[in-house]
Amino acid sequence: MKPRNIKILQRRGKDLQANILNAHTIIVASTTGSSANHVVTVEYEPDGVIRARCTCAWAINGGIACSHVIAALEKLAETKGRTLSFWDERSDAERQKHRIFYLTGGRRQTEPGVWITSRQAA
């Protein structure tokens, strides 16, 4: 299950506060609402595959790239002086001519994922 509009989620992710516990665990909280914190866990696989899980309902039901995961990955990238963009299609990602990652969920490998490009932060 992929988000319907990854660009809207990408913007929403910027409104979330992400706190890195360690390289694989990020706590994500809303800066506006009083909704619960979510825990995002990130695993890196060879060939640029990122496997991320989140405790929100969307992710638990097999959803990929919720706003919490996006916020967590952005935060991790920020610590390396990078900024991320998220794409539905591989061809859109490749057009950016930046380093490419593939984001998928925790459990179901067959679920279609989301493409990520990473570039130097301005």
**Contact footprint for Zn ion (CB under 5 A):** 38, 54, 56, 59, 66, 68
Shortest distance, CB of residue 48 to Zn ion, whole angstroms?
22
Q: How far apart are CA 52 and CA 102, in angstroms?
A: 11
Shortest distance, CB of residue 65 to Zn ion, whole angstroms?
9
CB-nearer residue toward Zn ion: 18 or 59: 59
CA-based nearest residue to 119, from 76, 85, 68: 85
Counts for the chain of helices (H) and strands (E), in that order? 4, 7
CB-nearer residue toward Zn ion: 19 or 94: 19
Shortest distance, CB of residue 58 to Zn ion, whole angstroms?
6
Q: In what order do the strands lie in the sheet with 25-30?
A: 16-22, 25-30, 38-45, 49-54, 99-104, 114-120, 82-87
CB-nearer residue toward Zn ion: 36 or 121: 36
Shortest distance, CB of residue 51 to Zn ion, whole angstroms?
14
CB-nearer residue toward Zn ion: 16 or 93: 16
Q: What is the CA radius of gyration of the chain?
A: 13
